[in-house]
Amino acid sequence: MSIDGVQVGYSSAAPVVLLREAEGDRYLPIWIGAVEATAIVAALEDMVPPRPLTHDLLRLAVESLGAEVDRAVVTEVRDNVFYAELVLITNGGEVTVSCRPSDAIALAVRTEARLFADPEVLDEAGVMIKSVEEPEQQIEEFRRFLEEVSPEDFSAGEGPG
């Protein structure tokens, strides 16, 4: 998966991160909190705060313990909530940590870790958005999508993780 954008939904005024399937045309919209949206956008834009923010602190803690973030995976949708896992590589092998998708994405961006979604999650919550070639057209298509959709249009949203 790749991050296609973070926007505020026009009908709901809630931030949404839009993940795009690497080998396909499906997108996975996940509504997130404003703080989490800001954290993801800051990392995508390589903004460096004067002091580490929460996700920066977590990255520093993982690295100082000699581990690395290998991948972030959106693992399931259950009771209208998305769930994710971070997979860390340590001296003792892999360690999996359950977390919210927004936290997994924010940390994956900061560590350049791979981002995945379970195929069943894409089957259940993925949407098709008409593919366009020009970046301006992609942005406009994404905006049109956000104007027409709200969190209630999906059976899942992000909740406590």
- For the entire predicted model, the pTM comes to 0.79
Could you tell me whether strands 114-117 and 68-78 are parallel, antiparallel, or unpaired per DSSP bridges?
A: parallel
Retrieve residue 156's tokens: 């899942």
Residues 87-142: pLDDT tens digits? 999 999 999 999 999 999 999 999 999 999 999 999 999 998 765 555 566 666 66
What is the rounded CA–CA span in Å between residue 73 and residue 54?
Answer: 20
Residues 47-88: pLDDT tens digits? 988 898 899 999 999 999 999 999 999 999 988 799 999 999
